[in-house]
């Protein structure tokens, strides 16, 4: 593999014009496809095998059109204090809202408008009413004039003194991230300049990562409607693709500079960089792809598509690092070298051959070797303390009740709760697959349940072989009492009575995530152990890596619970409304953090193993690994943290939460687990860390991440070992 990658990198360098042209052509083709495609929709949501999905499918079969995916809105109108919404003047204002929607500019997309005074959508105290609006298309497909007609429908009523708020998915818009992404990229650029001491070397990973992400996100946008991808899919793919794209290019450029400093010609240096660091990039990218594609085991199409789309962006990032990066290195010449070797702008004029002092990685590794027990205990206890809130993890899916209080959706939610009861925002839809007798029996049974506020009479279909019963719980949709009511209805009914609706779907989704988390975690950790056993040819090293990964993930979940569920430091991160953690968050974090954790493990520990197999003592091998890799790994981690943290400013709660969770997880894994716990454990294990039974050594394939086969292949000429001083210069 290393020899093949060496030839690939060298060929890309020599044919740099053709390679760069191909990638630019791909970027333009993907961009043209994205520009030509229609606007992406919110994507359909289904959960095969759950009762809520079975009921939804039955509803679609027995009541054609009732389960349509068109957007809906509720225009909630409340009379002034002391007045009634049924007063003539107030009633006239409500009816103006109805007629405005029916006859307004966006009427072509309106399927139905319900007058609250005809459908009994008025609260018992007479203070509040709501207008239900159904559309023929999803919220993302509403035209501007339709959306404006909705948002402006209550302007006259507001001027008359009424309170008007609007809820529902008709106001759904594409998530906005604001300036967070730009800030993240700027931070990444600053880190790269500090790391490389060269503007050209710093700009190269940013340029190639943006090209890769541009191709990936544009392709997702072009195929969004064809593949029914959700609106957040491209945002998450951008988040992950940008982070790994910068990191992978960073490792290739760093190794290229080392090879140049060792005296190799530029094309030879590019080939050797791709043959060595490229092997680690390929393996690291493979782990991320497997982890993301493995989300398919959860059997939720939306999550599977998100994982596959993000995995596709990672594949592009790997291909860019192995081909486009060496080709652009060909255009850059020797401008990628540290500025200290070319000018006095950076490096304070240090001569190229000067003996540098021990770098920060060397000093830190030496400190850990002197106090391994203290460092290990501090790292484990610290992460364990941060992980404590994870024991209180509550999962669910966001609704308008989780929106910031500044939004009209949240205010409409609160008005409905005040006027009609907390459970009105999460009605349950009970679908009866049977005749009137069965439906009446189900109605009577549900009325006798404690958590029920209102039960509507069964509404039969035209054929009379099915009916729908609407149940309003007493408690809010995300409460444990409502979840208990759903389970009580299901337990008390047979297979012919099914519960669905948004609330029931959320409950089933959370349960499915709970059930899938441990099997998926076992799959990921088991995969990590097997892959690292092959790479490092050791048992204890991969065991340590897998346990460290678990520790960083649980600690990151603890931080997410503390901020988004408990509200600790919530204002600092723009969390206006606390609530349950999104059900997909833990399993998605496991998949992504696993891949990223293996990146750092591979790039850091392979240097240690390389030194060990060349005869260094275990302790000295740790110092050598940190000497040449710690700076680059730390820079890569800071870049990932900056990119992920940039998405905390998103208007979409899911994107905000995932951005925060991944940023915290990378910080814990890179700087606490890989930089502190890993060297401490290796120092305590000594030679035992690198031991492998002979029988296992014979059957394991040799993936050669360190590039040993390449060195042997090139042994006839320059061995490529170089001088320690040159290597230290570039690493410093």
Q: How sure is the predictor about 680, in pLDDT bands with cuts at 50, 70 and 90?
A: very high
Averaging pLDDT over each range in 2-11, 188-197, 375-384, 504-513, which range is the top one? Answer: 375-384
How far is 590 from 665, CA to CA, in rounded Å? 10
CA atoms within 13 A on the CB side of 568: 9
Residue 112 pLDDT grade (very low, low, confident, very high; cuts 50, 70, 90): confident
pLDDT in tens, 277-294: 888 788 878 878 888 888
Q: Per-residue pLDDT for 412 more than 50?
A: yes
**Chain-centre distance for alpha carbon 230:** 13
Least confident of 212-216, 586-590, 673-677: 586-590
So what's the pLDDT on residue 592? Answer: 77
CA–CA separation, 62 and 59 (whole Å) = 5
Q: Is 122 left (phi over 0), alpha (psi -120 to 50) or beta?
A: beta
The residue with tokens 């490229």 is 278
Q: How does DSSP classify residue 572? A: G
582: helix, coil or strand? Answer: strand
Q: How confident is the model at residue 730 (pLDDT cuts 50, 70, 90)?
A: very low
Angle at 561 between CA 556 and CA 563, to 5 degrees: 95
| Distance from the first to the final alpha carbon of the chain | 29
Coil, strand or helix at 74: strand
pLDDT tens digit sequence for 572-607 = 887 777 778 888 888 878 877 887 777 788 888 887
In whole angstroms, what is the distance from residue 726 CA to residue 732 CA?
Answer: 10
Mind listing the pLDDT tens digit for each residue in 543-574?
888 888 889 999 999 999 999 888 888 778 87
Which range, of 205-214, 282-291, 423-432, averages the lowest pLDDT? Answer: 282-291
With a cut of 90, say whether residue 128 has pLDDT above it.
yes
Structure tokens at 666: 């990378």
Phi and psi torsions of 132, nearest 5°: -90, 130
pLDDT for the residue 560: 93
In the structure, what pLDDT confidence band is assigned to residue 620 with cuts at 50, 70 and 90?
Answer: very high
Check the CA dihedral 692-634-365-356 and report its sign.
Answer: positive
**149-163, 298-312, 376-390, 703-717: which range is least confident on average?**
703-717
pLDDT attached to residue 317: 93
Residue 678 has what pLDDT?
A: 93
Average the pLDDT over 649-658 and give the result: 76
Query: If we measure between CA atoms, which residue out of 81, 77, 89, 75 comes closest to residue 158?
Result: 77
CA torsion angle 83 89 93 96 (round to 10):
150
Residue range 684-700: mean pLDDT, rounded: 87
- The Cα–Cα gap between 657 and 645 comes to 10
Query: Which parts of 28-150 are beta strand (E)?
Result: 72-78, 110-114, 128-135
Q: Place 722 in a pLDDT band, splitting at 50, 70 and 90.
A: very low
User: What per-residue confidence (pLDDT) applies to 649?
Assistant: 76
Rounded Cα distance, 167 and 156, in Å: 18
């Amino acid at each position: 593999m290393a020899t093949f990658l060496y030839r690939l990198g060298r060929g890309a360098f020599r044919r740099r014009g053709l390679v760069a042209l191909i990638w630019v052509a791909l970027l333009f083709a993907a961009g043209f496809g994205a520009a030509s495609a229609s606007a992406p929709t919110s994507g359909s949501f289904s959960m095969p095998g759950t009762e809520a999905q079975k009921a939804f499918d039955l509803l679609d079969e027995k009541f054609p059109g009732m389960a349509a995916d068109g957007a809906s809105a509720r225009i909630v109108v409340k009379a002034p204090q002391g007045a009634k919404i049924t007063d003539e003047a107030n009633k006239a204002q409500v009816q103006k809202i109805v007629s405005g929607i029916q006859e307004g500019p966006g009427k072509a997309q309106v399927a139905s408008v319900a007058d609250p005074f005809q459908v009994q959508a008025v609260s018992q105290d007479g203070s509040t009413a709501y207008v239900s609006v159904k559309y023929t298309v999803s919220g993302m497909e509403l035209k501007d004039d339709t959306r404006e007609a909705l948002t402006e429908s209550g302007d006259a009523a507001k001027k008359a003194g009424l309170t008007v708020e609007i809820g529902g998915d008709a106001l759904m818009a594409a998530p906005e991230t604001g300036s967070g992404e730009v800030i993240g990229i700027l931070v990444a650029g600053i880190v790269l300049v500090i790391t490389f001491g060269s503007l050209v070397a710093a700009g190269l990973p940013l340029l190639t990562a943006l090209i890769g992400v541009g191709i990936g996100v544009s392709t997702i946008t072009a195929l969004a409607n064809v593949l029914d991808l959700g609106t957040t899919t491209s945002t998450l793919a951008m988040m992950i693709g940008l982070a790994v794209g910068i990191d992978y290019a960073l490792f290739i450029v760093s190794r290229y500079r080392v090879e140049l400093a060792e005296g190799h010609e530029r094309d030879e240096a590019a080939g050797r960089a791709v043959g060595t660091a490229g092997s680690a990039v390929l393996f690291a990218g493979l782990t991320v792809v497997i982890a993301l594609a493995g989300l398919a085991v959860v059997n939720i199409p939306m999550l599977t598509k998100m994982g596959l789309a993000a995995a596709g962006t990672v594949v592009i990032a790997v291909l860019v690092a192995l081909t486009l990066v060496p080709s652009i290195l060909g255009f850059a010449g020797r401008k990628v070298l540290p500025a200290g070797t070319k000018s006095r702008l950076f490096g304070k004029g240090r001569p190229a051959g000067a003996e540098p002092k021990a770098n920060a990685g060397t000093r830190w590794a030496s400190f850990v070797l002197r106090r391994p027990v203290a460092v290990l205990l501090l790292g484990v206890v610290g992460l364990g303390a941060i992980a404590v809130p994870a024991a209180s993890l509550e999962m669910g899916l966001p609704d308008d009740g989780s929106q910031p209080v500044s939004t009209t959706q949240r205010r409409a939610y609160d008005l409905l709760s005040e006027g009609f009861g907390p459970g009105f925002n999460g009605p349950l839809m009970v679908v009866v697959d049977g005749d009137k007798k069965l439906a009446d029996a189900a109605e009577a049974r549900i009325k006798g349940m404690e958590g029920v506020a209102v039960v509507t009479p069964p509404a039969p279909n035209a054929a009379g072989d099915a009916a729908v019963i609407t149940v309003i719980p007493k408690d809010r949709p995300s409460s444990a009492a409502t979840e208990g009511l759903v389970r009580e209805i299901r337990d008390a009914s047979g297979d012919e009575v099914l519960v669905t609706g948004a609330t029931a779907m959320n409950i089933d989704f959370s349960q499915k995530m709970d059930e899938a988390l441990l099997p998926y975690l076992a799959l990921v950790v088991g995969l990590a152990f097997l892959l690292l056993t092959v790479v490092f040819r050791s048992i204890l090293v991969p065991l340590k890596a897998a346990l460290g990964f678990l520790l960083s993930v649980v600690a990151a979940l603890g931080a997410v619970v503390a901020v988004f569920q408990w509200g600790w430091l919530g204002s600092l991160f723009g969390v206006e409304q606390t609530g349950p953690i999104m059900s997909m968050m833990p399993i998605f974090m496991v998949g992504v953090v696993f891949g990223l954790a293996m990146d750092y493990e591979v790039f850091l520990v392979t240097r240690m193993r390389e030194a060990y197999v060349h005869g260094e003592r275990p302790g000295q091998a740790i110092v050598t690994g940190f000497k040449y890799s710690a700076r680059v790994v730390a820079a890569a981690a800071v870049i990932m943290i900056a990119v992920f943290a940039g998405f905390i400013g998103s208007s979409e709660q899911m994107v905000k939460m995932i951005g925060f969770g991944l940023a915290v997880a990378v910080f814990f894994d890179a700087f606490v687990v890989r930089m502190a716990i890993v060297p401490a454990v290796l120092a305590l294990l000594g030679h035992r860390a690198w031991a492998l039974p002979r029988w296992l050594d014979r059957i394991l394939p040799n993936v050669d991440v360190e590039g040993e086969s390449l060195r042997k292949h090139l042994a006839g000429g320059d061995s490529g070992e170089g001088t320690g001083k040159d290597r230290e210069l570039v690493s410093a």
